[in-house]
Amino acid sequence: MKVEVLGTGCAKCKRLAKNVEAAIKDLGIEAELVKVDDITEIMNRGVMLTPALAVDGELKVSGRVADVKEIKEILQG
């Protein structure tokens, strides 16, 4: 599983990344966490509001910080 946090490194982006790390740890799953901070790459994916969360290339959250509970639900499918 590839989990991507898309954002330019702002406080909200960092908070989302920490929440994703916590969710992965809580679930005890194997997941690759990638931080995408290149604005061109973010825009090419159609993301207009950061932070954003994508799982296996599919955009799940955009423009807000998802909490750990919500991320765990997303990761569990």
Say if residue 51 is preceded by a cis peptide, omega within 30 of 0.
yes
Catalytic residue among 10, 33, 43, 49: 10
Residues in the chain: 77
For the question of residue 39 being annotated catalytic, the response is no
* Active-site position among 13, 17, 36, 61: 13
**Known catalytic residue: 20?**
no
Q: Measured between alpha carbons, how far apart are the two ends of the chain, in Å?
A: 11
39 vs 61: CA distance, rounded Å: 17
- Please list the active-site residues: 10, 13
